[in-house]
Amino acid sequence: MHAFTYHRPTSVADAVAKRSADADASYLAGGMTLIPTLKQRLAQPTQVFDLAGLADLKGIVVTDGAVTIGAMACHADVALSADVRRVIPALSDLAGTIGDPQVRNRGTIGGSLANSDPSADYPAAVLGLGATIHTNTRQISGDDFFKGLFETALKPGELIVKVSFPIPKRAAYMKFPNPASRYAVVGVMVAETAQGVRVAVIGAGACAFRLSAMETALSKSFSVAAIKDIAIPADDLNNDMHATAEYRAHLVGVMARRAVAAIA
Amino acid sequence: MTKISLTVNGTARSGDVEPRTLLVEFLRNHLGLTGTHVGCDTSQCGACTIHLNGKPVKSCTILAVQADGQQLTTIEGVAPTAQQGGDALHPMQAAFKECHGLQCGFCTPGMVMSALGIVERHKNDQLTEAIVRHELEGNLCRCTGYQGIVNAVLMGAKNMGVRVA
Ligand SMILES: Cc1cc2nc3c(=O)[nH]c(=O)nc-3n(C[C@H](O)[C@H](O)[C@H](O)COP(=O)(O)OP(=O)(O)OC[C@H]3O[C@@H](n4cnc5c(N)ncnc54)[C@H](O)[C@@H]3O)c2cc1C
Ligand code: FES
Ligand code: FES
């Protein structure tokens, strides 16, 4: 690991100002992605700003219409929250499938979204439930957030403060984990929301995406039968040593049908 | 160098570290607590599992500076009288011995720390073999084939007063 200096800012304004003043600096949340990256010398920040001391990034608040999760809430906080389970059990289930217990005790929702790993789970919830990402300067609709491989709408130095998930009528998340890493080979979130049916896929493409063909079919009839003949083109899907593009296309259909079956 | 002060197994400890020093390096090389092992250094194997403020975490994937001011428990602090030089085992350690939950023993400190996390999370409900297997996903063992470990976690939990199905 290359050397860097370490800082623990105590306010969002302070963190953003110092991080923005140095193009080679980095925020540190749970470190479950950043520290392995530093060990491999794939990143070489000059300064690291630990977000652990920022009170504004903490906590989970459930109101009538939404669950709002602070960027520094760890996956275990979300998975084990009785309030979250009461209103969006699919979100608890999703958080509970991330990595393993030790990873869930450190990794955060803010870090996961900022990183936008193609195999990360939370992007399925953000896109599938139609969440809004609140940063230090603005609100970004989930539909506008994921831009490509490890690429998001965040500007350099922009800080995720919290994420709010509207409570759906019903939702389910199904994941086919890689047996070694637990990251998703493919994951699908299906939700019936106030804005209609949403189907979001992770693991299969460069970043999370929605499947409009399935959304239309499920809007007409919310049943496994309605989507069983929808073919998923493999053309632009990920192809690596874990799964071919064709296998991923197949898994998208299987995971979507399982998700619908769980809540139909 | 950055000065850090933290509580390890109930005792206040401090030291000067570089920001890039991993917590596991601080525990092993600075404090001499070599019970915490490094199996992979790539966040996969769980041999380095310790408790940070009561929660199991992988100490190879935390900077020592991040643990400044926090409460840590390592395998050395688990047995009731270990800090006073006693050799009585914790019920979970005893269960690993009883159930052949180890062969070479390299993964064992991490397994025990993860097992105690499972007990903590399920002390008010019922523990099953399926839960134990799912929640040991962060710990790898190259020797046992896991059956002895799963049996040990269930026995240890039972002897700690948890309902086991
Ligand atoms: C063994 C293992 C298994 C895993 N399995 C899975 C899995 O199954 N599914 C899954 O989804 N993930 C998995 N992960 C990744 C894990 O969920 C991480 O928690 C997550 O990818 C990053 O979150 P973090 O809090 O650790 O962020 P960090 O590693 O601290 O940061 C990641 C990046 O985000 C930036 N960042 C952090 N917080 C913010 C913020 N609030 N605003 C702006 N930028 C920010 C950082 O600067 C950094 O560039 C796994 C990780 C490990 C080590
Ligand atoms: S040494 Fe930390 S997970 Fe393997
Ligand atoms: S007993 Fe040898 S690695 Fe588990």
User: Rounded to the nearest 5°, which phi and psi values hold at B58?
Assistant: -90, 110
Mean pLDDT of chain A: 97
The pLDDT score that the predictor gives to residue A118 is 97
Q: In angstroms, rounded to a whole number, what is the distance separating the alpha carbons of residues A204 and A210?
A: 11
Q: Alpha carbon of A91 to those of B121, B147, B149: distances in Å? A: 19, 31, 31
Closest approach of A34 to chain B, Cα-based (Å): 9
Per-residue burial over A13-43, b = 16 or more CB atoms within 10 Å of its CB, e = otherwise: eebbeebeeeeebbbbbbbbbbbbbbbeeeb
Q: For A50-93, what is each residue's pLDDT tens digit?
A: 999 999 999 999 998 999 999 999 999 999 999 999 999 999 99
Task: Write out chain B's pLDDT in tens, 165 residues.
Answer: 999 999 999 999 999 999 999 999 999 999 999 999 999 999 999 999 999 999 999 999 999 999 999 999 999 999 988 777 788 999 999 999 999 999 999 999 999 999 999 999 999 999 999 999 999 999 999 999 999 999 999 999 999 999 998
Is the CA virtual torsion B74, B77, B82, B87 positive or negative? negative
Q: In angstroms, rounded to a whole number, what is the distance separating the alpha carbons of residues B126 and B137?
A: 19
Chain A residues lying within 8 Å of B42, measured CB to CB: 36, 39
Chain B residues lying within 8 Å of A102, measured CB to CB: 46, 49, 56-58, 114, 138
H-helix segments, chain B:
23-25, 91-98, 108-122, 129-135, 147-159
Q: Could you tell me if A205 and A236 are in contact, meaning their C-beta atoms sit under 8 angstroms apart?
A: yes
Q: Is the CB of B112 inside a 6 Å radius of any atom of ligand 3?
A: no
* B18 reaches A (C-beta below 8 A): yes
Which residues of B, range 135-164, sit inside 8 Å of A by Cβ? 135, 137-139
- β-strands A196-202, A151-152 pairing: unpaired
Are A100 and B46 in contact (CB < 8 Å)?
yes
Retrieve residue A190's tokens. 């299906």
The pLDDT score that the predictor gives to residue B25 is 98
Q: Could you tell me if B157 and B118 are in contact, meaning their C-beta atoms sit under 8 angstroms apart?
A: yes
What residue in A sits closest to B23 (Cα-Cα)? A35
**What is the atom index within ligand 1 of the atom nearest the CA of A184?**
8
Chain B residues lying within 8 Å of A37, measured CB to CB: none
Residue ranges of chain A with per-residue pLDDT less than 70: none
Residues with Cβ within 8 Å of B57's Cβ and at least 6 positions away in sequence, in order, are A102, A105, A106, B49, B50, B51
Retrieve residue B99's tokens. 């159930």
ipTM: 0.97
What residue in A sits closest to B140 (Cα-Cα)? A180
Q: Could you tell me if A71 and A30 are in contact, meaning their C-beta atoms sit under 8 angstroms apart?
A: no
Q: In angstroms, rounded to a whole number, what is the distance separating the alpha carbons of residues B74 and B109?
A: 8
Residue A176 forms beta bridges with which residues?
Answer: A186
Are A105 and B135 in contact (CB < 8 Å)?
no
Q: Which of A192, A194, A193, A174 is CA-nearest to residue A184?
A: A174
The amino acid present at A131, given as its one-letter code, is A
Taken in order of first residue, the domains within chain A and their CATH numbers are: 1-55 (3.30.43.10), 58-263 (3.30.465.10)
Rg (alpha carbons) of chain A, rounded to whole number: 18
Residues with Cβ within 8 Å of B19's Cβ and at least 6 positions away in sequence, in order, are A3, A4, A5, A6, A48, B2, B63, B65
The pLDDT score that the predictor gives to residue B34 is 98
* B57 reaches A (C-beta below 8 A): yes
The pLDDT score that the predictor gives to residue B11 is 96
What residue in B sits closest to A104 (Cα-Cα)? B57
3-state helix, strand, coil in chain B (%, to 5): 40, 20, 40
User: Domain boundaries in chain B?
Assistant: 2-76, 84-164
User: May I ask the CATH class of domain B84-164?
Assistant: mainly alpha
Q: Exposed, middle or buried: residue A144 (CB in 10 Å: 0-12, 13-18, 19+)?
A: exposed
Q: Could you tell me if A109 and A75 are in contact, meaning their C-beta atoms sit under 8 angstroms apart?
A: yes
Rg (alpha carbons) of chain B, rounded to whole number: 16
Q: In angstroms, rounded to a whole number, what is the distance separating the alpha carbons of residues A112 and A33?
A: 8
The pLDDT score that the predictor gives to residue A255 is 98
Q: Which of A6, A16, A101 is CA-nearest to residue A46?
A: A6
Query: If one looks up domain B2-76 in CATH, what number appears?
Result: 3.10.20.30
